Amino acid sequence: MCGIIGCIGRGSDTLDTLVHGLEKLEYRGYDSAGVGLLDTEIVVCKAAGEISELRKKLEGQSIAGRAGIGHTRWSTHGPPTDANAHPHSDCTGEVVVVHNGIIENYQELRDELEAKGHTFTSDTDTEVVAHLMEERITEGESPERAFRGTVQRLEGSYAIAALVEGEEGLFAARNDSPLVVGLGDGADLDGDGGQFFLASDVPAFRDFTDRVIYLEDGEFARLDGGLKVTTSEGELVSKAVHTVEWDAEETGKSGYDHFMLKEIHEQPRALRQCLRGRVEEQTATVDIGDIADLNPSGVQFVACGTSYHAAMYGAQLIRNAGVPAQAFLASEYATAPPPLQDDLVVGISQSGETADTLSALREASGRGGETFTLTNTVGSTMDRECDHTLFIYSGPEIGVAATKTFAGQLTALNLLSLATVESGRQRRAVVPALRELPGDVQRILDSSSAEEVAEYYEGSRSYFFIGRGYQYPVALEGALKLKEISYEHAEGFAAGELKHGPLALVDEDTPVFAMVVGDGEEASKTVGNIKEVEARGAPVVVVTDGQSDAERYADHVLEIPESHPRTAAVLGNVQLQLVAYHIANRLGRSIDKPRNLAKSVTVE
């Protein structure tokens, strides 16, 4: 998804700061990049492809600027070309803009502007912003007024930054798309001067400051050696400065070949952070603050992708405690919204910015529903808009494939369920397993044979994943992880569902990964399903704690420590993450930035 960086007050480092910021935003996924620098004139340089292409274009040019903006584009209107890359300019080149999101009424605005004689040079929706500003400035409005007036004509989602020749600093506005200001050396809210940053996401400038201000929908900012934040009517807004807790090192690869592998290995620490101060083993208590006072009569989960798999798991936890709960794909929620009664609507989202999930939460909130988000991102739109937030505290996740945050989501869902709807008996059974979880994950990381399994099965026609109960969402997640980073065909199924159709696809070229936990009825039924696929010639990889006799029917075994079935889901998933990673790595895929995908999906 697109990324924005802007800065002022960096002197001769302006260009380097912008390019550095763009590189830090690469994890969001993009297909072109560009920068615009304001000096006596505005200079724009942009290129389709990776940031290295932009660097090549910048080589040998001495581009200076007091202020600048940069952008990584993920195509929505028009293919990834130099012309469609941001920044976009007006007819004179004196106004340049970058934009994240989608301007829904852009065609109508473009028709209007073309009728007035404006010439467009790209296919993008964004370019209308520059021409609308030009129109107003030509009519005599100040650049600040022109920016405000322009933004008020836009319908849709946007985070926008603009430069205007002859004007000090940069302008910014947001609606449904995140934008954050960073206060660097010498910058404070009452002062004049110092370094200011603007970005769609903190990692873009985290190397330079940990002091941030989150802009809200409908707010405008002017960064000109000071910071002025106003409403759309121009009234001053007073903003709080927040401190970002994590450091820049956490966004580096720390010697791993890929962020995904680093993040898989960070899971023990991430889980400790999630559990710290929240579970007490002696007394089997769970402390998640006031959230524990919630007493929902039902729970509706809304989420997408990996977070949806976590939602399925969460719904099972709540239902098993006797409270009605259902997981909805966020993009489908509003098509037939379920009755709310006194249900709690829980949006699960790593980023806290996913448009489909936000939209479902807003739909529920609009009907008077109480909303809750379980997220990794402090200050995200969901965190700010929902009635309640539970953080998973996984730390920044850079790889597009969600790994440690899925583990964090499952763990935090246990805390939510145990604290709100479950009994003391259940807490006594689960809290010790939660306390063991970071160590158990570490044991898997230290001993996994996933790499050999990946080597053995790489090149198969299809990969199937099966599980029951809490292991069913993990089977879906195992398949999603493999397909998104390896581009190989993979499907996850409820183990009992295979015989109702998918079994027709099974043969010796379709390895089946089966999750088998414990020695109860679920395990023995899944063993029955393993026998069914084995009889059709499929190789079987069993992910198991060794309590059942599943290993007898397996071609390969991926072991997990004995645990509670709920925490075993986190453990089994680690093995599947490693299998997906090693298959994709052997195939030479772009693991951290898979083709066509983006880390934060801020369009519906």
Q: Known catalytic residues?
A: 2, 599
Asked if residue 159 lies in contact with residue 103, where contact means CB atoms within 8 angstroms, the answer is no
Decide whether 390 or 401 has the Cβ nearer to ligand AGP: 401
State the residues that interact with ligand AGP by CB under 6 A.
304-307, 349-351, 354, 357, 400-402, 484, 600-601
Cβ–Cβ under 8 Å, residues 257 and 265:
no
Q: Least distance to ligand AGP from the beta carbon of 600, Å?
A: 6
Q: How far is the CB of 261 from ligand AGP (least distance, A)?
A: 14
Nearer to ligand AGP, 183 or 401 (CB): 401
| CA–centroid distance for 595 within its chain | 16
Least gap, CB of 350 to ligand AGP (angstroms):
3
Cα distance from N-terminal residue to C-terminal residue, the chain: 12
Q: What are phi and psi of 138, to 5 degrees?
A: -60, -35
Rounded to a whole number of angstroms, the minimum distance from the CB of residue 591 to ligand AGP is 11
Contacts of 283 (CB under 8 A, 6+ apart): none
**CA–CA separation, 444 vs 438, rounded Å?**
10
Which residues are CB-contacts of 355 (< 8 A; sequence separation ≥ 6)?
Answer: 157, 176, 601, 602, 603, 604
Contact 9, 196 (CB under 8 A): yes
| SS3 labels along 480-531 | HHHHHHHCCCEEEEEHHHHHHCHHHHCCCCCCEEEEECCCCHHHHHHHHHHH
DSSP string over 418-472 = HHHT--HHHHHHHHHHHHHHHHHHHHHHHH--HHHHHHHHTT-S-EEEEE-TTHH
Q: What residue is closest to ligand AGP based on CB?
A: 305
Q: What DSSP letter does each residue of 328-393 carry, written as one string?
A: EEHHHHTTSPPP-TT-EEEEEESSS--HHHHHHHHHHHHTT-EEEEEES-TT-HHHHHSSEEEE--
**What minimum distance in Å lies between the beta carbon of 584 and ligand AGP?**
12
Dihedral pair phi/psi, residue 307, rounded to 5°: -65, -30
CA dihedral for 245, 251, 255, 258, sign (positive or negative) = positive
Q: Which is nearer to ligand AGP, 374 or 450 (CB)?
A: 374
Shortest Cβ distance from residue 266 to ligand AGP (Å)? 15
Instruction: Assess contact for 501 and 347: CB atoms under 8 A.
Output: no
Between residues 44 and 304, which has the closer beta carbon with respect to ligand AGP? 304
Nearest distance in Å: CB 349, ligand AGP: 3
Query: Which CB sits closer to ligand AGP, 23 or 484?
Result: 484
Would you say 402 or 453 has its CB closer to ligand AGP? 402
Least distance from ligand AGP to the Cβ atom of residue 403, Å = 8
Angle at 312 (CA atoms; ends 308, 315), nearest 5 degrees:
130
- Count CA atoms within 13 Å of residue 256 on its CB side: 21
CB of 128 or CB of 401, closer to ligand AGP: 401
The residue type of 523 is A
Q: Where does residue 451 rank: exposed (0-12), middle (13-18), buried (19+ CB within 10 A)? A: middle
Nearer to ligand AGP, 306 or 567 (CB): 306
Give the strand order in the sheet containing 299-303.
Answer: 325-329, 299-303, 344-349, 370-375, 388-391
Minimum Å distance from CB 312 to ligand AGP? 13
* Of 17 and 157, CB closest to ligand AGP: 157
At closest approach, how far in Å is the CB of 337 from ligand AGP? 19
Supply the DSSP symbol for 283.
T
Instruction: Give the residue with the Cβ less far from ligand AGP, 195 or 354.
Output: 354
Instruction: Give the alpha-carbon dihedral of 152, 153, 156, 159, to 10 degrees.
Output: -50
How many angstroms separate the CA atoms of 107 and 112, rounded? 9
579 and 465 Cβ atoms separated by less than 8 Å: no
